[in-house]
Structure 1
Amino acid sequence: MKIIELPIEFESNGQKNYIYPSLIILNNELTLVDTGYTNFFTLIENEILKNRHEIKNLKNIIITHYDDDHIGSLYDFKERCPWINIIASEIESKYISGEIKSERLVQAEEMLENMPNEEMEFGKWFIQQLKNLKHVSIDEKVNDGDMILDNKCKVISTPGHTSGHISLYFPSLKSVITGDAAVKENDELVIANPQFCLNVEKAEQSLTKIKNLKAENYYCYHGGKLTL
Protein backbone atom coordinates (compact mmCIF):
# COMPACT_ATOMS: atom_id res chain seq x y z
CA MET A 1 0.00 0.00 0.00
CA LYS A 2 1.12 3.54 -0.70
CA ILE A 3 -0.22 7.09 -0.78
CA ILE A 4 0.49 9.49 -3.64
CA GLU A 5 -0.36 13.19 -3.51
CA LEU A 6 -1.88 14.63 -6.68
CA PRO A 7 -0.84 18.29 -7.13
CA ILE A 8 -3.69 19.95 -9.03
CA GLU A 9 -2.80 23.38 -10.42
CA PHE A 10 -5.55 25.87 -11.29
CA GLU A 11 -6.08 29.59 -11.62
CA SER A 12 -8.32 31.61 -9.32
CA ASN A 13 -8.65 35.42 -9.39
CA GLY A 14 -5.68 35.56 -11.74
CA GLN A 15 -3.45 33.66 -9.32
CA LYS A 16 -1.95 30.19 -9.54
CA ASN A 17 -3.33 27.86 -6.87
CA TYR A 18 -2.89 24.23 -5.87
CA ILE A 19 -4.87 21.58 -4.08
CA TYR A 20 -3.52 18.14 -3.18
CA PRO A 21 -6.05 15.30 -3.29
CA SER A 22 -4.56 11.95 -2.21
CA LEU A 23 -4.52 8.68 -4.10
CA ILE A 24 -4.27 5.46 -2.08
CA ILE A 25 -3.01 2.37 -3.91
CA LEU A 26 -3.91 -0.96 -2.30
CA ASN A 27 -3.75 -4.30 -4.16
CA ASN A 28 -3.85 -2.48 -7.54
CA GLU A 29 -7.10 -0.79 -6.52
CA LEU A 30 -7.27 2.98 -6.21
CA THR A 31 -8.99 5.16 -3.62
CA LEU A 32 -9.22 8.91 -4.20
CA VAL A 33 -9.58 11.27 -1.24
CA ASP A 34 -11.61 14.38 -2.21
CA THR A 35 -12.43 15.51 -5.74
CA GLY A 36 -11.55 19.20 -6.16
CA TYR A 37 -13.82 21.93 -7.46
CA THR A 38 -16.51 21.44 -10.11
CA ASN A 39 -15.05 20.46 -13.52
CA PHE A 40 -11.82 19.09 -12.00
CA PHE A 41 -12.45 15.51 -13.18
CA THR A 42 -10.03 15.77 -16.13
CA LEU A 43 -7.34 17.55 -14.10
CA ILE A 44 -7.42 14.77 -11.51
CA GLU A 45 -7.63 11.99 -14.10
CA ASN A 46 -4.56 13.39 -15.89
CA GLU A 47 -2.61 13.43 -12.64
CA ILE A 48 -3.62 9.81 -11.94
CA LEU A 49 -2.43 8.85 -15.47
CA LYS A 50 0.87 10.66 -14.88
CA ASN A 51 1.41 8.31 -11.96
CA ARG A 52 0.82 5.33 -14.31
CA HIS A 53 -2.55 4.40 -12.92
CA GLU A 54 -5.91 4.25 -14.68
CA ILE A 55 -9.29 5.58 -13.69
CA LYS A 56 -10.87 2.18 -14.43
CA ASN A 57 -9.09 0.88 -11.30
CA LEU A 58 -10.66 3.56 -9.09
CA LYS A 59 -12.67 1.61 -6.51
CA ASN A 60 -13.45 4.20 -3.79
CA ILE A 61 -13.77 7.91 -3.24
CA ILE A 62 -13.51 9.13 0.35
CA ILE A 63 -14.89 12.61 1.07
CA THR A 64 -13.40 14.29 4.14
CA HIS A 65 -16.17 16.91 4.34
CA TYR A 66 -18.74 18.96 2.45
CA ASP A 67 -16.98 21.97 0.89
CA ASP A 68 -17.05 22.99 -2.77
CA ASP A 69 -13.31 22.42 -3.26
CA HIS A 70 -13.61 18.87 -1.88
CA ILE A 71 -16.88 17.57 -3.38
CA GLY A 72 -17.14 19.77 -6.51
CA SER A 73 -16.37 16.99 -8.99
CA LEU A 74 -17.86 14.09 -7.02
CA TYR A 75 -20.95 13.98 -9.25
CA ASP A 76 -18.76 13.83 -12.40
CA PHE A 77 -16.74 10.94 -10.98
CA LYS A 78 -19.92 9.01 -10.14
CA GLU A 79 -21.37 9.73 -13.62
CA ARG A 80 -18.26 8.53 -15.45
CA CYS A 81 -17.35 5.71 -13.05
CA PRO A 82 -20.71 4.47 -11.73
CA TRP A 83 -19.09 1.48 -9.99
CA ILE A 84 -17.27 3.71 -7.49
CA ASN A 85 -17.98 3.21 -3.79
CA ILE A 86 -18.38 6.63 -2.12
CA ILE A 87 -17.41 6.88 1.55
CA ALA A 88 -18.12 9.76 3.93
CA SER A 89 -18.93 10.32 7.58
CA GLU A 90 -22.46 9.75 8.83
CA ILE A 91 -22.86 13.51 9.44
CA GLU A 92 -21.41 14.81 6.15
CA SER A 93 -23.31 12.23 4.07
CA LYS A 94 -26.57 14.04 4.86
CA TYR A 95 -25.25 17.24 3.27
CA ILE A 96 -23.57 15.51 0.31
CA SER A 97 -26.74 13.60 -0.57
CA GLY A 98 -28.90 16.72 -0.16
CA GLU A 99 -30.92 15.22 2.68
CA ILE A 100 -30.19 18.34 4.76
CA LYS A 101 -29.10 21.85 3.71
CA SER A 102 -25.34 22.02 4.19
CA GLU A 103 -23.82 23.80 7.19
CA ARG A 104 -21.56 25.73 4.82
CA LEU A 105 -24.53 27.13 2.89
CA VAL A 106 -26.32 28.08 6.12
CA GLN A 107 -23.12 29.81 7.31
CA ALA A 108 -22.64 31.65 3.98
CA GLU A 109 -26.23 32.92 3.97
CA GLU A 110 -25.93 34.14 7.56
CA MET A 111 -22.61 35.88 6.82
CA LEU A 112 -24.13 37.63 3.79
CA GLU A 113 -26.60 39.47 6.05
CA ASN A 114 -23.76 41.36 7.80
CA MET A 115 -21.28 41.55 4.93
CA PRO A 116 -19.74 44.90 3.94
CA ASN A 117 -20.94 46.14 0.51
CA GLU A 118 -17.56 45.59 -1.14
CA GLU A 119 -17.66 41.88 -0.22
CA MET A 120 -21.34 41.37 -1.06
CA GLU A 121 -20.69 40.32 -4.66
CA PHE A 122 -18.28 37.57 -3.59
CA GLY A 123 -20.71 36.43 -0.88
CA LYS A 124 -23.54 36.05 -3.40
CA TRP A 125 -21.24 34.27 -5.87
CA PHE A 126 -20.08 31.82 -3.16
CA ILE A 127 -23.66 31.02 -2.16
CA GLN A 128 -24.51 30.31 -5.80
CA GLN A 129 -21.45 28.03 -6.07
CA LEU A 130 -22.72 26.00 -3.12
CA LYS A 131 -26.26 25.88 -4.52
CA ASN A 132 -24.92 24.62 -7.87
CA LEU A 133 -23.23 21.57 -6.29
CA LYS A 134 -24.93 18.37 -7.41
CA HIS A 135 -25.99 15.93 -4.71
CA VAL A 136 -24.62 12.40 -4.67
CA SER A 137 -25.73 9.54 -2.43
CA ILE A 138 -23.17 7.96 -0.11
CA ASP A 139 -22.58 4.20 -0.34
CA GLU A 140 -20.64 3.73 2.91
CA LYS A 141 -21.14 5.88 6.03
CA VAL A 142 -18.33 5.83 8.57
CA ASN A 143 -17.72 7.00 12.13
CA ASP A 144 -14.76 7.69 14.39
CA GLY A 145 -12.52 4.64 14.85
CA ASP A 146 -13.94 2.63 11.94
CA MET A 147 -11.35 0.57 10.05
CA ILE A 148 -11.72 0.68 6.26
CA LEU A 149 -9.70 -0.28 3.15
CA ASP A 150 -8.97 -3.86 4.28
CA ASN A 151 -8.45 -2.63 7.87
CA LYS A 152 -5.42 -0.59 6.78
CA CYS A 153 -7.04 2.81 7.36
CA LYS A 154 -8.58 4.20 10.55
CA VAL A 155 -11.24 6.89 10.33
CA ILE A 156 -10.46 9.78 12.69
CA SER A 157 -13.28 12.16 13.55
CA THR A 158 -11.85 15.71 13.28
CA PRO A 159 -14.75 18.17 13.69
CA GLY A 160 -14.34 21.94 13.73
CA HIS A 161 -13.85 22.97 10.13
CA THR A 162 -17.21 21.24 9.64
CA SER A 163 -19.05 19.12 12.19
CA GLY A 164 -18.63 15.76 10.42
CA HIS A 165 -15.10 16.25 9.08
CA ILE A 166 -12.91 13.12 9.02
CA SER A 167 -9.18 12.52 8.60
CA LEU A 168 -7.57 9.18 7.72
CA TYR A 169 -4.82 7.42 9.67
CA PHE A 170 -2.64 4.66 8.19
CA PRO A 171 -0.72 3.04 11.09
CA SER A 172 1.48 0.84 8.86
CA LEU A 173 2.55 3.87 6.77
CA LYS A 174 2.76 6.22 9.80
CA SER A 175 0.72 8.62 7.68
CA VAL A 176 -2.34 10.84 8.02
CA ILE A 177 -4.50 12.36 5.28
CA THR A 178 -5.73 15.50 7.00
CA GLY A 179 -8.42 16.95 4.72
CA ASP A 180 -8.93 20.45 6.15
CA ALA A 181 -8.29 19.45 9.77
CA ALA A 182 -4.75 20.74 9.13
CA VAL A 183 -2.98 22.68 6.40
CA LYS A 184 0.74 22.95 5.81
CA GLU A 185 2.08 26.47 6.36
CA ASN A 186 5.79 27.26 6.84
CA ASP A 187 6.48 23.55 7.40
CA GLU A 188 3.97 23.39 10.23
CA LEU A 189 0.48 21.98 10.68
CA VAL A 190 -2.07 24.71 11.39
CA ILE A 191 -5.87 25.10 11.28
CA ALA A 192 -7.40 25.71 7.84
CA ASN A 193 -9.15 29.10 7.45
CA PRO A 194 -10.12 29.73 11.10
CA GLN A 195 -12.59 32.43 9.95
CA PHE A 196 -14.63 29.76 8.12
CA CYS A 197 -14.39 27.06 10.81
CA LEU A 198 -17.81 26.21 12.14
CA ASN A 199 -16.24 25.68 15.58
CA VAL A 200 -12.69 26.96 16.11
CA GLU A 201 -12.35 25.36 19.55
CA LYS A 202 -13.17 21.93 18.12
CA ALA A 203 -10.85 22.59 15.17
CA GLU A 204 -8.00 23.22 17.66
CA GLN A 205 -8.81 19.96 19.46
CA SER A 206 -8.89 18.05 16.16
CA LEU A 207 -5.52 19.49 15.14
CA THR A 208 -4.06 18.32 18.47
CA LYS A 209 -5.68 14.92 17.97
CA ILE A 210 -3.97 14.27 14.62
CA LYS A 211 -0.66 15.69 15.84
CA ASN A 212 -0.83 13.26 18.76
CA LEU A 213 -0.90 10.35 16.31
CA LYS A 214 2.81 11.18 15.85
CA ALA A 215 2.73 10.22 12.18
CA GLU A 216 5.77 10.80 9.98
CA ASN A 217 3.79 12.00 6.96
CA TYR A 218 0.83 14.37 6.91
CA TYR A 219 -0.89 14.72 3.54
CA CYS A 220 -2.56 18.14 3.62
CA TYR A 221 -5.13 19.09 0.99
CA HIS A 222 -3.84 22.65 1.16
CA GLY A 223 -0.08 23.02 1.26
CA GLY A 224 0.79 19.42 0.34
CA LYS A 225 2.74 16.73 2.16
CA LEU A 226 4.59 17.47 5.39
CA THR A 227 7.21 14.93 6.48
CA LEU A 228 8.33 15.24 10.09
Structure 2
Amino acid sequence: MIIETIPCLQDNYSYLIVDEQNNNACVIDPSEAKPVIDLVERKNLNLRYVLNTHHHHDHIGGNEELKKKYNSKIVGYKGDAKRIPGINVLVENNQIWKSDNFEAKIIHIPGHTTGHISFYFFNEKIIFTGDTLFSLGCGRIFEGTYQEMFESLNKIKSLPEDTKIYCGHEYTLQNSKFCIKHDPENLNLQNKISKITEKHQKALPTIPSTLKDEIECNIFLRAKNVESFSKLRDLKDNF
Protein backbone atom coordinates (compact mmCIF):
# COMPACT_ATOMS: atom_id res chain seq x y z
CA MET A 1 0.00 0.00 0.00
CA ILE A 2 1.10 3.55 -0.64
CA ILE A 3 0.23 6.75 1.20
CA GLU A 4 -0.52 9.97 -0.67
CA THR A 5 -0.37 13.20 1.36
CA ILE A 6 -3.05 15.74 0.44
CA PRO A 7 -2.61 19.33 1.70
CA CYS A 8 -5.98 20.85 2.58
CA LEU A 9 -7.22 24.21 3.86
CA GLN A 10 -4.41 26.25 5.43
CA ASP A 11 -2.28 23.63 7.17
CA ASN A 12 -4.30 20.39 7.30
CA TYR A 13 -3.26 17.07 5.85
CA SER A 14 -5.60 14.42 4.56
CA TYR A 15 -4.12 11.10 3.48
CA LEU A 16 -5.05 8.66 0.77
CA ILE A 17 -4.19 5.01 1.43
CA VAL A 18 -4.04 3.16 -1.88
CA ASP A 19 -4.11 -0.60 -2.39
CA GLU A 20 -2.16 -0.93 -5.62
CA GLN A 21 -3.49 -4.45 -6.25
CA ASN A 22 -7.00 -3.23 -7.02
CA ASN A 23 -6.84 0.59 -6.96
CA ASN A 24 -9.08 0.73 -3.90
CA ALA A 25 -8.45 3.64 -1.54
CA CYS A 26 -9.31 5.09 1.87
CA VAL A 27 -9.07 8.75 2.73
CA ILE A 28 -8.20 9.85 6.25
CA ASP A 29 -9.86 13.03 7.57
CA PRO A 30 -10.92 14.81 4.37
CA SER A 31 -10.97 18.47 5.38
CA GLU A 32 -12.47 19.33 2.02
CA ALA A 33 -13.57 17.26 -0.94
CA LYS A 34 -11.96 18.94 -3.95
CA PRO A 35 -8.27 18.06 -3.43
CA VAL A 36 -9.28 14.48 -2.63
CA ILE A 37 -11.45 14.24 -5.75
CA ASP A 38 -8.67 15.71 -7.88
CA LEU A 39 -6.23 12.99 -6.76
CA VAL A 40 -8.76 10.16 -6.93
CA GLU A 41 -9.72 11.12 -10.48
CA ARG A 42 -6.14 11.65 -11.62
CA LYS A 43 -5.11 8.22 -10.41
CA ASN A 44 -8.38 6.52 -11.38
CA LEU A 45 -8.97 5.12 -7.88
CA ASN A 46 -11.99 3.58 -6.16
CA LEU A 47 -12.55 5.66 -3.03
CA ARG A 48 -14.12 2.96 -0.89
CA TYR A 49 -13.81 4.44 2.60
CA VAL A 50 -13.59 7.70 4.52
CA LEU A 51 -11.90 7.25 7.91
CA ASN A 52 -12.47 10.00 10.49
CA THR A 53 -10.29 10.40 13.59
CA HIS A 54 -12.66 12.94 15.18
CA HIS A 55 -15.59 15.24 14.50
CA HIS A 56 -13.95 18.66 14.07
CA HIS A 57 -14.98 20.34 10.84
CA ASP A 58 -11.45 20.55 9.45
CA HIS A 59 -11.36 16.74 9.52
CA ILE A 60 -14.83 15.87 8.22
CA GLY A 61 -15.64 18.78 5.89
CA GLY A 62 -15.46 16.62 2.75
CA ASN A 63 -17.38 13.62 4.10
CA GLU A 64 -20.76 14.08 2.54
CA GLU A 65 -19.59 15.25 -0.89
CA LEU A 66 -17.22 12.28 -1.16
CA LYS A 67 -19.90 9.87 0.02
CA LYS A 68 -22.34 11.22 -2.54
CA LYS A 69 -19.86 11.13 -5.43
CA TYR A 70 -18.22 7.76 -4.76
CA ASN A 71 -20.71 5.95 -2.51
CA SER A 72 -17.87 5.69 0.02
CA LYS A 73 -18.48 4.20 3.47
CA ILE A 74 -17.69 6.59 6.33
CA VAL A 75 -15.99 5.00 9.33
CA GLY A 76 -15.86 6.70 12.73
CA TYR A 77 -16.07 6.24 16.48
CA LYS A 78 -19.39 4.91 17.74
CA GLY A 79 -19.52 7.55 20.48
CA ASP A 80 -19.41 10.28 17.84
CA ALA A 81 -22.13 8.84 15.60
CA LYS A 82 -24.19 12.03 15.98
CA ARG A 83 -21.24 14.34 15.31
CA ILE A 84 -19.70 12.75 12.20
CA PRO A 85 -21.74 13.51 9.08
CA GLY A 86 -22.70 10.58 6.86
CA ILE A 87 -21.25 7.93 9.16
CA ASN A 88 -21.99 4.32 8.12
CA VAL A 89 -19.59 2.14 10.08
CA LEU A 90 -19.29 2.56 13.85
CA VAL A 91 -16.05 1.36 15.42
CA GLU A 92 -14.85 1.12 19.02
CA ASN A 93 -11.65 0.94 21.05
CA ASN A 94 -9.36 -2.03 20.30
CA GLN A 95 -11.55 -3.21 17.44
CA ILE A 96 -9.85 -4.51 14.31
CA TRP A 97 -11.52 -2.83 11.36
CA LYS A 98 -10.97 -4.92 8.25
CA SER A 99 -12.47 -4.44 4.80
CA ASP A 100 -11.07 -5.35 1.38
CA ASN A 101 -7.30 -5.47 1.98
CA PHE A 102 -7.37 -2.69 4.57
CA GLU A 103 -6.85 -3.68 8.20
CA ALA A 104 -6.40 -1.31 11.15
CA LYS A 105 -6.70 -1.42 14.90
CA ILE A 106 -8.88 1.30 16.38
CA ILE A 107 -7.24 3.00 19.36
CA HIS A 108 -9.41 5.41 21.36
CA ILE A 109 -7.23 8.40 22.27
CA PRO A 110 -9.40 11.04 24.01
CA GLY A 111 -8.17 14.41 25.22
CA HIS A 112 -8.43 16.70 22.22
CA THR A 113 -12.02 15.46 21.90
CA THR A 114 -13.85 12.79 23.88
CA GLY A 115 -14.38 10.66 20.78
CA HIS A 116 -10.95 10.90 19.16
CA ILE A 117 -9.55 7.69 17.69
CA SER A 118 -6.49 6.69 15.72
CA PHE A 119 -6.25 4.15 12.91
CA TYR A 120 -3.23 1.89 13.42
CA PHE A 121 -2.41 -0.10 10.28
CA PHE A 122 -0.27 -2.58 12.17
CA ASN A 123 0.82 -4.67 9.17
CA GLU A 124 2.31 -1.55 7.57
CA LYS A 125 3.38 0.00 10.93
CA ILE A 126 1.53 3.22 10.16
CA ILE A 127 -0.73 5.21 12.49
CA PHE A 128 -2.98 8.15 11.72
CA THR A 129 -3.13 10.22 14.90
CA GLY A 130 -5.37 13.12 13.85
CA ASP A 131 -4.97 15.98 16.33
CA THR A 132 -3.77 13.94 19.32
CA LEU A 133 -0.09 13.49 18.46
CA PHE A 134 1.67 15.89 16.12
CA SER A 135 5.30 15.79 15.15
CA LEU A 136 7.00 17.51 18.11
CA GLY A 137 3.64 18.39 19.63
CA CYS A 138 0.23 17.26 20.79
CA GLY A 139 -3.28 18.59 20.40
CA ARG A 140 -4.99 21.14 22.58
CA ILE A 141 -7.24 19.71 25.25
CA PHE A 142 -10.74 20.83 24.32
CA GLU A 143 -13.14 18.19 25.65
CA GLY A 144 -11.00 15.80 27.66
CA THR A 145 -8.62 16.05 30.59
CA TYR A 146 -4.87 16.29 31.00
CA GLN A 147 -4.92 12.75 32.39
CA GLU A 148 -6.77 11.45 29.33
CA MET A 149 -4.41 13.14 26.90
CA PHE A 150 -1.36 11.90 28.80
CA GLU A 151 -2.71 8.35 28.75
CA SER A 152 -3.62 8.63 25.06
CA LEU A 153 -0.09 9.70 24.17
CA ASN A 154 1.28 6.80 26.19
CA LYS A 155 -0.90 4.38 24.21
CA ILE A 156 0.74 5.61 21.03
CA LYS A 157 4.15 5.64 22.71
CA SER A 158 3.81 1.91 23.43
CA LEU A 159 3.73 0.98 19.72
CA PRO A 160 6.85 -0.22 17.85
CA GLU A 161 9.40 2.56 17.50
CA ASP A 162 9.57 2.23 13.71
CA THR A 163 5.86 3.08 13.41
CA LYS A 164 5.31 5.99 11.02
CA ILE A 165 3.25 8.86 12.43
CA TYR A 166 0.81 10.62 10.12
CA CYS A 167 -0.87 13.55 11.89
CA GLY A 168 -3.52 16.07 10.94
CA HIS A 169 -1.55 19.31 10.56
CA GLU A 170 1.75 20.76 9.38
CA TYR A 171 2.73 22.26 12.73
CA THR A 172 6.21 20.75 13.04
CA LEU A 173 8.41 23.79 12.63
CA GLN A 174 6.41 25.87 15.11
CA ASN A 175 6.28 22.94 17.54
CA SER A 176 10.05 22.58 17.31
CA LYS A 177 10.52 26.11 18.67
CA PHE A 178 8.64 25.19 21.83
CA CYS A 179 10.49 21.88 22.25
CA ILE A 180 13.95 23.40 21.89
CA LYS A 181 13.11 26.18 24.35
CA HIS A 182 12.37 23.63 27.05
CA ASP A 183 14.87 20.94 26.00
CA PRO A 184 17.82 22.93 24.60
CA GLU A 185 20.51 20.29 25.16
CA ASN A 186 18.69 17.55 23.23
CA LEU A 187 21.02 16.63 20.34
CA ASN A 188 18.42 14.43 18.65
CA LEU A 189 16.05 17.38 18.65
CA GLN A 190 18.70 19.70 17.27
CA ASN A 191 19.32 17.28 14.39
CA LYS A 192 15.60 16.88 13.72
CA ILE A 193 15.14 20.65 13.60
CA SER A 194 17.86 20.89 10.94
CA LYS A 195 16.00 18.34 8.80
CA ILE A 196 12.64 20.04 9.41
CA THR A 197 14.05 23.44 8.44
CA GLU A 198 15.48 22.01 5.22
CA LYS A 199 12.14 20.45 4.27
CA HIS A 200 10.29 23.64 5.15
CA GLN A 201 12.58 25.68 2.92
CA LYS A 202 11.78 23.31 0.04
CA ALA A 203 8.02 23.42 0.80
CA LEU A 204 8.03 19.68 1.53
CA PRO A 205 5.88 17.96 4.19
CA THR A 206 7.64 17.16 7.46
CA ILE A 207 5.22 14.24 7.86
CA PRO A 208 5.51 11.32 8.37
CA SER A 209 7.64 11.27 11.45
CA THR A 210 8.58 8.08 13.26
CA LEU A 211 7.65 7.12 16.78
CA LYS A 212 11.36 6.76 17.59
CA ASP A 213 11.92 10.39 16.56
CA GLU A 214 8.97 11.55 18.63
CA ILE A 215 10.06 9.63 21.74
CA GLU A 216 13.53 11.16 21.42
CA CYS A 217 12.46 14.70 20.50
CA ASN A 218 8.82 15.45 21.36
CA ILE A 219 8.77 17.08 24.77
CA PHE A 220 5.19 15.93 25.42
CA LEU A 221 6.14 12.27 24.94
CA ARG A 222 9.16 12.83 27.17
CA ALA A 223 7.04 14.04 30.09
CA LYS A 224 7.40 11.55 32.96
CA ASN A 225 4.04 12.14 34.62
CA VAL A 226 0.75 13.91 34.15
CA GLU A 227 1.83 16.86 36.33
CA SER A 228 4.81 17.74 34.16
CA PHE A 229 2.76 17.08 31.02
CA SER A 230 0.02 19.44 32.25
CA LYS A 231 2.52 22.25 32.89
CA LEU A 232 3.98 21.84 29.40
CA ARG A 233 0.54 21.81 27.79
CA ASP A 234 -0.40 25.03 29.58
CA LEU A 235 2.83 26.67 28.52
CA LYS A 236 2.29 25.61 24.91
CA ASP A 237 -1.25 27.04 24.94
CA ASN A 238 0.27 30.46 25.60
CA PHE A 239 3.43 30.09 23.52
TM-score, scaled to structure 1:
0.68
2:126 maps to amino acid = S
Counterpart of 2:60 (choices 68, 71, 74) is 71
| SS class of match (1:172) | coil
- Taking a change above 3 Å as real, the CA distance of residues 149 and 22 of structure 1, as seen in their structure-2 partners, is farther
Unpaired runs of 5+ residues, structure 2, are 171-206, 214-239
After superposition, the C-alpha distances for 1:137-194 in whole angstroms (9 at most, x for unaligned) are: x21100111112346211111111111111011222111111111112xxx2x22124
How many residue pairs match? The answer is 170
2:74 maps to amino acid = I
TM-score, scaled to structure 2:
0.65
Counterpart of 2:50 (choices 61, 77, 101) is 61
Unpaired runs of 5+ residues, structure 1, are 11-16, 97-134
Task: Please list, as runs of the form range in 1=range in 2, the aligned pairs for 1:18-97 lying within 5 A after superposition.
Answer: 18-26=11-19, 27=21, 28-36=23-31, 40-49=32-41, 53-54=43-44, 57-81=46-70, 83-96=71-84
Structure 2 counterpart of 1:115: none
Aligned mates of 1:6, 1:149 — CA distance in 2: 23
Ranges of 4+ aligned residues in structure 1 off by more than 4 Å: none
The answer as to whether partners of 2:50 and 2:72 remain within 8 angstroms in 1 is: yes
Identity level (%): 29
Shift of 1:48: 4.2
Aligned mates of 1:200, 1:143 — CA distance in 2: 22
Between 1 and 2, higher relative CO (CA 8 Å, sep ≥ 6) is seen in 1
Aligned mates of 2:150, 2:95 — CA distance in 1: 22
The answer as to whether partners of 1:191 and 1:204 remain within 8 angstroms in 2 is: no
The answer as to whether partners of 1:5 and 1:219 remain within 8 angstroms in 2 is: no
Task: Please list, as runs of the form range in 1=range in 2, the aligned pairs for 1:1-228 lying within 5 A after superposition.
Answer: 1-8=1-8, 10=9, 17-26=10-19, 27=21, 28-36=23-31, 40-49=32-41, 53-54=43-44, 57-81=46-70, 83-96=71-84, 135-136=85-86, 138-150=87-99, 152-184=103-135, 188=136, 190-194=137-141, 196-214=142-160, 215-223=162-170, 224-227=207-210, 228=213
Q: Alignment RMSD, CA only?
A: 2.0
